[in-house]
Amino acid sequence: MPQILPKLMSLGTAVPQHRITQADVLAILAQAKGQALPPRMAEILGNTGISQRHIAMPPEYYFDARSWAKRAGVYEVVAAQIFEAAAMQALARANLQAADIGQIVFVSTTGTMTPSLPSRMIAKMGFAPNTRCVPLFGYGCAGGVIGLGVAADLFLACPDKPVLLVSLELCSLAYDHARMDKKDMVALALFADGCAAAVIGAGAGPQLGAFASHVWPDTLDMMGWQIGDTGFDLVLARDIPVFVNSHFAPVCDAFLAQQGLTKVGMAEPACHPGGGRVVDALSDYLGHNLSATRSILRDHGNMSSPTVLFVLESLLSAGSISKPTLLTALGPGFVGAMGVLTP
């Protein structure tokens, strides 16, 4: 019997209700500091490529004392809301019901619950009681691409029912803003909240091809979190744009060569944007302006793992997947994640 290859049948996205512009953020930061921001810091924060973002709670919430328990409570409520909204949109676009899904892959690094969020959504959304839930934690910004690859592998192993991937991050809840140091201000100016869902199955849609990841040794200080007293402390190196061309580029070239592909002749890539300078570095390497990636960064900020799926949804909506399409993301590890879709 021939192997049933996984297709990306649909995508759905959702964001929390609270919208904040980058101008709002700069004003809030100055107020919290009690003085105008240093010109160099204001320039850095203003040149992120972001115009607006969505966050889980109103801005004033983030400057009150917040315990781990309180933040976990907000994660539980808001994450459930946008999980359901994105998943229902993806299911509707694939002409499926929740009960049609056999497995749920759930990617999130900004909150965790036991039982996991997808397990809690089984009865609420009408998934079958025997639906397998596969939570993936710790991949950060690389989680969207890695999760899509895992979902494709799970469908290949058990192709009788479609697989639902849900990538969800509430980055705004992760950090404690009491100290207001440089890294905290970068987190405030860059990260956002959102959720993307994808249905992987045997229906119509682009085919999910090869996926791969690469971890570089001695790079733990490039990106990630350290556990602080009241929240996560951001680890984020300044030289990630340089790393794109010096380290990621040859690895990605080798990945494409293994698939018999080159950057020339492919469709517009779907890249996790990271920030403005990272997009510029990726654009230089890939030889493409990355307009969809820039547009998602401008309108939604860096939502961590789901961001690349927002970009992919934009490309699909525009009918841009007419050639092989490269997906890329960089995340803690330091890891590069890559995947290919073919029409």
> Which CATH number does the domain housing residue 292 bear?
3.40.47.10
- pLDDT tier at 2, thresholds 50, 70, 90: low
230 and 194 in a single domain? The answer is no
Q: How far apart are CA 87 and CA 90, in angstroms?
A: 5
Helix (H, G, I), strand (E, B) or coil at 19: strand
pLDDT at 150 over 90: yes
DSSP type of residue 134: E
The number of C-alpha atoms within 13 Å of 192 and in the hemisphere containing its C-beta is 33
Q: Are residues 27 and 166 in the same domain?
A: yes
296 within domain boundaries: yes
| Residue 238 and residue 295 in one domain | yes
Q: If pLDDT is split at 50, 70 and 90, which confidence band does 11 have?
A: very high
Q: Which of 133, 141, 252, 271 is catalytic?
A: 141
pLDDT exceeds 60 at position 1: no
The whole-angstrom separation of Cα 112 and Cα 166 is 14
Residue 1 located in a structural domain:
no
Q: Let me know if 117 is exposed, middle or buried by CB neighbors in 10 A (0-12, 13-18, 19+).
A: buried
Asked if 88 and 193 sit in the same domain, the reply is yes
Give Cβ neighbours of residue 23 (< 8 Å, ≥ 6 apart). Answer: none
pLDDT of residue 28: 77
Question: What's the full length of the chain, in residues?
Answer: 343
Domain enclosing residue 184, as ranges: 7-201
Among 178, 201, 224, identify where a domain stops.
201
Residues 179 and 301 in one domain: no
Q: How far is it, in rounded angstroms, from Cα 321 to Cα 234?
A: 35
Residue 2 lies in a domain: no
> What is residue 121's predicted lDDT score, i.e. its pLDDT?
97
Residue 158: pLDDT band with limits 50, 70, 90: very high
Q: Is 141 a catalytic residue?
A: yes
Q: How many CB atoms lie within 10 A of CB 246?
A: 11
Label residues 304-338 b or e (16+ Cβ within 10 Å = b): bbbbbbbbbbbbbeeebbeebbbbbbbbbbbbbbb
The DSSP code for 36 is: P
In a domain, 177, yes or no: yes
Place of tokens 């993936």: 136
Q: Is 181 in the same domain as 130?
A: yes
Q: How far apart are CA 172 and CA 217, in angstroms?
A: 29
Q: How far apart are CA 331 and CA 34, in angstroms?
A: 34
Total domains in the chain come to: 2
pLDDT of 65 strictly over 80: no
The pTM (predicted TM-score) of the whole model is 0.94
240 and 269 share one domain:
yes
- The closest of 152, 158, 153 to 198, measured between CA atoms, is 152
DSSP code string of 164-220 = EEEEEEEGGGTB--SS--HHHHHHHHHB-EEEEEEEEESSSS-EEEEEEEEE-TT-T
Mean pLDDT value of segment 102-130: 96
139 and 247 together in one domain: no
Query: 171-228 pLDDT, tens per residue?
Result: 998 876 666 667 777 777 889 999 999 999 998 999 999 999 999 998 888 887 777 7
**Spatial contact of 11 and 311, defined as CB atoms under 8 Å apart:** no
Q: Which of 33-42, 47-56, 250-259 has the lowest mean pLDDT?
A: 33-42
- Please give the residue that has the higher pLDDT: either 161 or 68: 161
Residue 132's pLDDT band, with cuts at 50, 70 and 90, is very high
Identify whether residues 227 and 293 lie together within a single domain.
yes
pLDDT at 230 (0 to 100): 66
Q: Quote the percentage of the chain above a pLDDT of 70.
A: 94
CA–CA gap between residue 111 and residue 284 (Å, rounded): 34
Confidence of residue 339 (pLDDT cuts 50, 70, 90): very high
pLDDT tier at 38 (50, 70, 90 boundaries)?
A: confident
Strand partners, 18: 55
Domain identity same for 124 and 272: no
Classify residue 33: in a domain, yes or no: yes
Which burial class, exposed, middle or buried, applies to 1 when counting CB atoms under 10 A from its CB (0-12, 13-18, 19+)? exposed
